[in-house]
Amino acid sequence: MPRRRTSSSSSSTGSSTGSPSTPRNRTPQAVRIRRRSFGDFVKAFFAFVALLVLVVGVPGALAVAVGWPLPNGVPSLDWLQKPITTGTFLHILTVIVWLAWAQFTACVLVEIKAAVSGVGVPGRVPGGGPSQLLARQLVAALLLVGATAASLTPGLSQLGHSFDENQRGTVAAAQQTPGGGLFAQQQEQAASTAAALAEQAAGAAAHADAGGGASKADDTKYYRIQPPEGRHHDSLWEIAERHLGDGRRYKEIFDLNKDRVQPDGSKLSEASLIRPGWIMEMPGDARGGDLVEMPEASGGSAAQQQIHDYGQSGDHAQGGGAQQGGGAQGGGTGHASLPEQRPAPDQQPDRQTGHQEQHQQHATSTNAASDAFGLPQALVGAPLLAAGLLGALGRRRRQALWQSAFGAVGGRRGMEPPTPTGDAADAQDALLVGADPEGVRLLDRSLRGLAASLAAESRPLPTVYATWLSGNGDLHLQLAQPSGNPPAPWQLGQDQTFWMLARADAERYEDVDAAAPYPGLVSLGTLDDSRLLLNLESVPGIVSLSGSEADRAAVFASVAAELATNGWSDRMTITLVGFGEDLTPLAPNRLRHLEGIADLVETMEAETRQRRGALGAAGHDSVLTGRTGPAQHTRWAPHLVLLAAEPSADDAMKLAELAADAGRLGIGYLVGTESGDLPGAAWEMEITGEGKLLAPLLGLELDAQLLPVPLQRAVVELFVESDPEREPQGPATAPPFLVDVSEQGRPAVYARLVGPYEIIGLDTPDGDRSALLHEALALLLLHREGVHPRVLSSALWPRGVTDDVREALLDRLRAWLGTDPDGSPRLKTDSTGRLTLAKTVVSDLDVLRSLYHEATQGRGVDSRVVRGRLLTDALVLVRGPLLADRPEGRYRWLTHEIIDAQLPLLVADIGLALSEFHLVKDRAEKAIEALGAALNSAPGDERLWHELLRATHATGDTDRLQALAADLITRSGARGLPPRTEALLDELLPTWRNGVAAVG
């Protein structure tokens, strides 16, 4: 690219041009273009001859030499029995050549259309490959000397007479937004584009004249960003590929235009996301029919004013007018801030400084508290990630519990999940402290509600590049382009590319039957008190991440873990390449691991072809319409690729080609790099050793969300220990706390949790703190292994609480519980700092577990009488569901527990054991009575119904058995009876189907 000379003299407007060291991409300057040489004409001539021969000569030669190779009529069966001669073979070859010619001709036509129109990238001819590449090179060489600015002169000649009318009102002050310099917006008025084109060209010409005529104004070429065509958007990579011959030269275009004021008042601050109607100054060797050469500046007063304004924007970019322009434009620096924190320009520096200091103090206090209590801050400070992991862990433990109860895996493993220790225990506590399930629920309902509302209005989903969750719970969607007014209760944000939903409105959303519209959202980090979620599947290209290997690995692990367990997606595939094999236990159905890039390229080439074909066959232009439309097929689920190691140059180019169209296909790529220079990278980020996620071109500096290697191991250990497919390790797990069930084992404090909450042995606390103390005691009773103080406080105050309030509560709880006769407190602190209760504080759930354990593994094993008495006493304790009368809005921490699954299974086990005890002695009525009591607490347990059928059959009363079968059918509803229940009825009551048919 020709070297450009800058001028140090003042412009005609009186503004300073800056020093010669000022970056050349800051101020518009003319570029001297290399004139077309004799070699260009020779290349064009040979390209013309080659095209003539291939497009016209080949079919002519075939027609003369061979003629039409196909039969003139429908061949008979006798034709298949004729021997294959040389002529037959030649005819087959001729057909192949005809097909190759037709494909090449189609490639030529496609390339000529793309080159002449200049809109979008050429369409891909199926199976074109090398043929289309050859056609592209020949067409480019032919048009190299035939495309001049004269072809666009009539359009330019009409410019310069109505600048005021075209430009008025289009350059407005843009308010600073979350990630304000991050994403592109659409041009709203076509007239302003034409005016800005003349303005930018005239401004460059004036600056070139001020430089002493070092370059001529008509040497500079410009390209106007084309409007989107379908789901395709113009990009600098494609522009460089068309007009510079190499997509990797997109950075040259970016350097020439960075920070220059565009027609809509914003500036280019990110190298891949550009807006239709923007104007790009091109390098001097750019070629193509849709480029515009420098027009001569018009002499009207309005034009002079436009030139002056443009010169001012150039000076602002150099630094002389930075503060003047920055306050007015707002988007010049591209820094991110919250809508509610956008002060007036003259107040912004002080407000911003004050907010940063406040945030630093908050972060310092948070970290100090975390260090004091020994919990990993990486999970405590990642509420969405923690909520996803905690929810997935709970589902895993429930699944293991149910499989164990129903005998799906080996022997019984007991009713209790393994108690984590060491780093795993700290990780679990950090999950409990940091998780924000309410935030996840609101995010999920809000996005699904938006999708349902748009579908009801027959409107497509907008492409969302990112989501911001502000500190007060408001949700901001950052759109790829304006999409009109959002459906209520959503509102327009600070501009047309932001949709905003207040937390109060989000809380009114109910569950809707709609597919998750944006499952590819993943947390990257926080800016002040706002959390950024990037929509990986909508990125128009690759997201690259540079930094040290360890720091990159922590980011990749965090992204993988959140994508695998988040609560705002239905289904997806996450491919981990070169890392993360040990992360697959987090979500075996979502995560898959590949060893090398070669396997990845092969896999993604096949999937890209499949998705393109599927979209075309279904008539969709993107996965957004397919995902939320009538189809809602699994093929529209996102596929996100996380490649930690830097690919080779060849592999990087292959990935760039695959990612060029990935946005509309629902495929996202996050790729690690050592150098930070990755072909096809749409967004470039860097992770520092201090935990900062930097994206200078995006104007972002986030506190990154990380999952370091030691924490990865601890989290994975929690999931591995709870794996339902894991073989039992040793005998069945005993309850965590056994009590003395004899008469001598009376506790000092007895709490009844199974049913209405009652406490015996303590006075009821006075005042409003009574409910809080009761809830704290219930949490401690359900966790006899100990509760971390921060876990207790986060359970009681989900939105946070100060240390002094927590300590005051613990003091009141100690005073309320009192001491044992020996003077020891009933609320203690163990060696790890966790709160534990004395053995003299007991709940009915502890007694229930102990009675069943004693009956099946203790004294009841050797004594039938003792076993019957213990099981009967246990079943009497069951008065209803756990904490049946708990007040609304409290005890939300129970959603993290598995006690809601443990208690019904425990009651069912007791009922089954007592039924067996009575049936052995032919006491069917007693067995039926025990099973009925158990069914009151576990009505969905299939095992109880099976035993009830057997016990009823043992009475010999066929009518009673028929009535029970009819009751079961009624309860099953539209789903019908389970197969095992049907098989049992066939065995016990062969005529049950006739009875059902008669009733029907």
Give the model confidence (pLDDT) of 720-756 as tens digits. 988 776 665 545 566 778 888 877 778 999 999 999 9
Query: In which residue are the tokens 């009652």 written?
Result: 758
Residue carrying the six token digits 């699954």: 901
- Give the dihedral sign, CA 971/976/981/984: positive
Query: Residues near 496 by Cβ (< 8 Å), separated by ≥ 6?
Result: 185, 186, 188, 482, 483
What phi and psi, each to the nearest 5 degrees, are found at residue 280? -115, 125
H runs (alpha helix) in 53-143:
58-65, 77-81, 86-117, 130-143
- What does the DSSP assignment read for 35-57? PPPHHHHHHHHHHHHHHHIIIII
> Please, are residues 553 and 483 in contact by the beta-carbon 8 Å criterion?
no
Report the candidate in 606, 657, 597, 658 with the shortest Cα–Cα distance to residue 635: 606
For residue 910, which of 963, 949, 855, 866 has the smallest C-alpha distance?
855
What is the H or E stretch that residue 370 is in? helix 348-373
Q: For position 34, what pLDDT does the model report?
A: 43
Q: Look-up: residue for tokens 């691991």?
A: 593
CB 432 within 8 A of CB 782: no
pTM of the model: 0.65
pLDDT of the residue at 844: 93
* DSSP, residue by residue, 224-289: EPPPPBTTB---HHHHHHHHTS-GGGHHHHHHHHBTPBPTTS-BB-SSS---TT-EEEE-TT---T
Residue 804 corresponds to which tokens in the numbers above?
């002094």
- Which residues in 385-409 are b (16+ Cβ under 10 Å) and which e? bbbbbbbbbbebbbbbbeebbeeeb
Q: How many CB atoms lie within 10 A of CB 59?
A: 15
Query: Are 463 and 479 in contact, with CB atoms under 8 Å apart?
Result: yes
Contact 261, 330 (CB under 8 A): no
Nearest-5° Cα angle at 673, 603 to 601: 10
Task: State the residue for tokens 């597919």.
Answer: 515
Backbone φ and ψ for 762, nearest 5 degrees, come out as: -135, 145
Residue 52, Cβ neighbours under 10 Å: how many? 10
Tell me which residue of 282, 323, 306, 103 sits closest to 196, measured CA to CA: 306
* Contact in structure between 172 and 308 (CB atoms under 8 Å): no
| Positions of the chain with pLDDT lower than 70, given as ranges | 1-38, 40, 68-82, 84, 89, 114-124, 127-128, 143-220, 228-233, 264-265, 269-273, 292-374, 406-416, 626-635, 725-734, 995-1000
Contacts 24+ apart (CB under 8 A), 931-938: 933/875, 933/878, 934/875, 934/878, 934/907, 934/908, 934/910, 935/911, 936/878, 936/880, 937/878, 937/880, 937/881, 937/903, 937/904, 937/907, 937/908, 938/904, 938/905, 938/907, 938/908, 938/911
Q: How far apart are CA 260 and CA 315, in angstroms?
A: 10
CA distances to 33, 574, 649 from 646, rounded to whole Å, are 36, 18, 9
pLDDT of amino acid 681? 86
Q: Which helix (H) or strand (E) holds 742?
A: none
Among 204, 216, 207, residue whose Cα is nearest residue 280: 204
**C-alpha span between 783 and 778 (Å, rounded):** 9
pLDDT score for 268: 77
Contact 882, 900 (CB under 8 A): yes
| Rounded Cα gap, residues 969 and 804, in angstroms | 57
What are residue 546's DSSP bridge partners? Answer: 673, 686
Find out whether the peptide bond into 724 is cis, omega within 30 degrees of 0.
no
> What local confidence, expressed as pLDDT, does residue 727 receive?
60
Are 258 and 318 contacting, i.e. CB atoms less than 8 angstroms apart? no
In this prediction, residue 315 carries a pLDDT of: 37
The residues that bridge with 534 in the sheet, in sequence order, are: 466, 522
Q: Which pLDDT score, from 0 to 100, does residue 715 have?
A: 95
Q: Which two tokens stand for residue 233?
A: 């958007």
Q: For residues 381 and 308, give the distance between their C-alpha atoms in angstroms, rounded to a whole number.
A: 49
Cβ-in-10-Å burial (0-12, 13-18, 19+) of 862 comes to exposed
371 residue type, one letter: D
- Residue 162, token pair as written in the block: 């109505």
Instruction: Please count the other Cβ atoms lying within 10 Å of the Cβ belonging to residue 15.
Output: 17
Given this model, what pLDDT does residue 800 score? 84
Query: So what's the pLDDT on residue 330?
Result: 30
